[in-house]
Structure 1
């Protein structure tokens, strides 16, 4: 039972982090962190209008 409880807890924590992090970053940074993450791999001209 213990391994299942640990696994379930880890899944819940991961889901909450994935659900809360984008919303929290969007509220705090106005989407700038996500914009920077999108801008880094691609060309800087693609997301120029959002700057």
Structure 2
């Protein structure tokens, strides 16, 4: 279940999160920040794995 949520959040970050964050108040902004953090962690994880494989 968590994997599916992360995947969906990852796909929606560029288009959905900035719009939702700017239109709505604190709760949506916090949710957007949470999704953005997951996205950054996934990038860092991917970069680390790529770096270790070379």
Question: TM-score, normalization: structure 2?
Answer: 0.45
Structure 1 or 2: larger helix share? Answer: 2
Larger Rg: 1 or 2? 1
Bigger relative contact order, structure 1 or 2, given CA contacts below 8 A and separation 6+? Answer: 2
Question: TM-score, normalization: structure 1?
Answer: 0.47
